[in-house]
Structure formats: structure tokens, C-alpha cells
Amino acid sequence: MDLQNEKIFAGARLRRLRRERSLTQADAADMLGLSPSYLNLLERNQRPLTARVLLAVAAAFDIDVRSLAEGSDRQLVTDLEAAAADPALAALELDRTELTDLAETQPRAAEALTKLHQAYRNASESSADLAAQLEGGERAGRMNETEAVRNALDQRHNFFPALEDAAERFGSRLKLHVDNRSTVLEERLKAEHGIVVRTFEDDIMGRARQRLDFHTRRLMLSDRLSANARPMQMATTLALLEHADVLDAEVAAAGFETKIEEALYRNGLARYFAGAVLAPYEAFLTLAEKSRYDIDRLQRRFGLSFETACHRLTTLHDPRQPGIPFFMVRMDPAGNVSKRFGGGVLPFARSGGSCPKWTLSEAFRAPEKLLTQRFALPDNSEYLSIARAVSRPGSAQELPVMHVIAVGCEWGRAEETIYADALSRTPPTPVGLTCRLCEREACAHRAFPSMQREMNINPWRQAAGPYASDEHI
């Protein structure tokens, strides 16, 4: 992106940043070295943001300059499309241009609309769950709190400078490296907190992977944990014990509505801290760039699982040393998404399964094999995807727990990775976010009719699939 020559109007996002920090225009103008009147013109989109102002905003508000320069929030536009496609609003026939304009000019109003739609959808699902329960059915779990946490992580682009700084100081003080970290972390727990680390069999652990027993001062770890998982559990525990003030400050800044949301977010941040301790930002980014983001090499160097290495890739958003912006998703064999980071790169649908033409499902048929893919969404944006099915042992009565982990980036940055070399001459696979939001009617894989268009069903013609059609009204 040529910041010198491109005119960037981001008044609504600039105003939103200021209001989120409770700053007056005069205060913000002083921080940016501008006059209040000029800042007012910027916020009203009567002046474009110059390269100097963009860099000043990125430094003052500690954000990635791309979040201002890239245009509308893709995830917000996707959420608006889902709301507009709902039967309650479908008659208005709001198109993508109108929704993008709303997201760019009135982002707070757009967020309010999407939150209202999510609440409406959750209420409808709850009613259906309750009806099923009353009829003797099984109630499905709701994801309200999880979605709130995901929204908060996406707003921060999954990057937390305070946690990075604390983790760097902690790791340097203990002189951690991949060969000594298990021993050093175990000694830290014992010396500073009187906690000994013990390994127990599954029946004693009650299928838990880890449990801290404050009464006996023991950190109990399951014998099913891999060698790489043990330091992660110990570092997470130390984050909760020694860096509660940093975690609490981040939780308070997120402004959650429920204690459950706060607890989920806090646990996620503790694991973020642990990942930053095991894979320090600068060292991890240096090897990532040197190896062209070779995930297997990053795993070996830092002693990480595939999932943890992929997770760490999504956090490389320090404006002073930015890496490639990556997204990540974790999915089980039933299509349930249990972890998701858009990273400002790839928008995700809030409900519905993933597109079967994305290699996530295929990865389950080839465990531990790395599958790469170049795909395109209906808006013609293209991406690189790197997916692998991983598993961990279950209990004696259960099958192994399996997930597919996928990480990727925009195709424009893919050439910086080793994975794009074999795909550079391959046309992108057309993929949708979810069937209900996908406009590709002539698709044999379609599992649901599109919410975007009314189908024209011809009784005299058999389409490729139950909801596929090359005709529409």
C-alpha cells in the first residue's frame, strides 16, 4: 500500500479510537501534534489522513497502521451482511455497498445493529433449545460469552503489548530457553510459591489436563500431556500467580458484561502470556521471516505444538516489528469452531458450518499431513490456507480428541511464505464463509439455500445439489 499517494479517509475509525480512550478532540489533537480544528476535519472525512498522521495515530494509540489504512472492517461488514440477510430484514434488500458505507461512516451504529442481531439470534436459539428440552431433547450449548471474547480479541487484533513486555521481562529474568524451560519453570513454582509439580494418571485427574490444588500446594498435570504441553501449563499457571495485575488491567479495559466473559478472556490472556514466554516476540519473528514462516521449523526451534505455533503467528502485530497478519481457526470433526482469530484479515460467519471446499474437512482424512490451499471468497479477496489435523489422547473410554488447525493470510502476502511457491500458478478455489451467506448458487456442495437470494426451483430440472441452481430470481 502506497501511503504517500493514496488518499485515506478514516474519520469514523479515528473518532472511535478517541472515544474508546475517553479523549476530547483537544486532548487527541495534542497527542497527535495537530490542531483541534484539523482533527475535527479528519473525523468528518473532510480531509484525508496523510502518511505522517497515520503513523502518529498508530504510535499514539498503539495500533497497526493497516487497521486505519485498509478500509472498512471486514468482520463488521460480514456481520452486517448476516443481519441484512435475516428474514426480519431481508425485505429491505440492503446490498454490500450500503452495508460497507454504514460500517465506514457509522461504525458504532453498525456494531449496535450486529449486536442486536446476534442477541436476537441467540434468543431464537435459546427458545428452540428450551422447546427441545421440554420435549425431552438435548439442549445445545450457547456461545454468547465465547462470541463476546472473540469480538474483544478481534478488536485488539490478538496483540497485547503489556503482556508481551511482561513475558519478555519474565523470560529474560529466568534465562529461559527450549532446553531448560521445564526445569526452570518447575523450580520457579516451588521457590516462589511453594508449589510442586506432579504428574498423575487420568483416573486421578478426572480427565482434567491440569489442576492446581492450593490445599496441598501441588500443580497436578495429566500424564497424557505431551512434552511440549507441560511447559505451557506451568507458564500459564505462573501468569495467573505472578502477573494477575497485568491480566486484570486487560480484562477491565475490555468492558465485558458478565463474569463468565471476564473469566474466559482472562484464561485466554494467561495462555497468551505463556506462549509469549516460550516463544519471545523478536526471536520468533526473526526466525519466521528467515524461514519464510516455516511452521514446522518454528515448532522445532521453540518446542511448540502445531496449534501453539499457529496461535503465535496470529499475534505478530507490533507496529514497530510487524509480521504477516495471520488468521487462525480450530474446528472439530462435527464442524464446530472452538477457536477463531480473524486478525483483521479473514471475516468469519457467526453461525453455520465452514465451506466444504475449504480443505478443513479434507484434513481430517489425512491426520498430521499439511494441506495448503489458495482460495477466494465471493468478494474476490484471495487467501492462503495452511491446515493440519492434530490429535491428543483421550481417556481409556474415549477416542483421541482431534481438531483441524488452519492458519493463513491474504494472498498478497503469501509469497513471503514457503507455502505459496507450489500454489502460485494454481487458480484459487471458490469458497464461501458459510452457505447461507454465499452467493454462489450453482454449487453442488451447498447445504442450505442462500439467505441472500430467493431460489427459483424448476421441477423439470435437477440441479447439481438439493439447493444448487444456476438460475435465480
Length of the chain in terms of residues written = 473
3-state secondary structure of 395: coil
Closest by CA position to 369, among listed 308, 306, 421: 306
Whether 322 contacts 67, CB under 8 Å: no
pLDDT of residue 61: 81
pLDDT of residue 3: 46
Neighbours of 104 (CB within 10 A): 20
3-state secondary structure of 458: coil
3-state secondary structure of 153: helix
Rounded Cα gap, residues 338 and 331, in angstroms = 6
Sign, CA dihedral 311-313-318-319, equals negative
Whether 318 contacts 281, CB under 8 Å: yes
pLDDT of residue 260: 92
Rounded Cα gap, residues 309 and 255, in angstroms = 29
Cβ-Cβ contacts under 8 Å for 96 (sequence gap 6 or more): 77, 81, 379
The cell numbers describing 185, all together, are: 519453570
DSSP H or E run through 223: none
Cβ-Cβ contacts under 8 Å for 365 (sequence gap 6 or more): none
Rounded Cα gap, residues 114 and 100, in angstroms = 13
Whether 237 contacts 189, CB under 8 Å: yes
Rounded Cα gap, residues 13 and 103, in angstroms = 9
Rounded Cα gap, residues 280 and 327, in angstroms = 20
pLDDT, tens digit only, all 473 positions of the chain? 444 455 677 777 788 778 777 788 888 898 889 998 888 888 877 888 888 888 888 888 877 666 665 555 667 777 787 777 776 776 677 777 778 777 777 777 887 888 787 777 766 655 544 444 444 444 343 446 888 898 888 888 899 999 999 999 999 999 999 899 999 999 999 999 999 999 988 778 877 889 999 999 999 999 888 888 999 999 999 999 999 999 999 999 999 989 999 999 999 999 999 999 999 999 999 999 999 999 999 999 999 999 999 999 999 999 889 999 999 999 998 888 888 887 678 877 666 667 888 888 899 988 889 999 999 988 888 999 999 999 877 655 667 789 999 999 999 999 999 999 999 999 999 988 777 667 776 677 776 666 655 656 666 665 555 555 544 43
pLDDT of residue 136: 42
Domains along the chain with CATH numbers: 11-69 (1.10.260.40), 327-424 (3.30.450), 439-473 (no CATH)
Provide φ and ψ at 223, rounded to 5°: -70, -5
Whether 325 contacts 410, CB under 8 Å: yes
3-state secondary structure of 201: coil
pLDDT of residue 341: 86
The cell numbers describing 278, all together, are: 516460550
Rounded Cα gap, residues 130 and 140, in angstroms = 9
pLDDT of residue 452: 58
pLDDT of residue 450: 64
- pTM recorded for the entire structure: 0.71
CA neighbours closer than 13 Å in the CB half-sphere of residue 199: 9
DSSP H or E run through 259: helix 259-278
What is the tally of helices (H) and strands (E) in the chain?
20, 9
DSSP-assigned states of every residue in 68-136: HHS-S-HHHHHHHHHHHHSTTTGGG---HHHHHHHHHH-HHHHHHHHHHHHHHHHHHHHHHHHHHHHTT
CA-based R_g, the chain, Å: 24
DSSP-assigned states of every residue in 165-189: HHHHHHHHHHT--TTTHHHHHHHHH
CA neighbours closer than 13 Å in the CB half-sphere of residue 124: 10
Whether 405 contacts 307, CB under 8 Å: yes
* Rounded to 5°, angle at Cα 308 from 307 and 312: 120
Amino acid identity of residue 291, one-letter, is S
Provide φ and ψ at 177, rounded to 5°: -150, 170
pLDDT of residue 292: 97
DSSP-assigned states of every residue in 278-314: HS-HHHHHHHHHHTTS-HHHHHHHHT--HHHHHHHHT
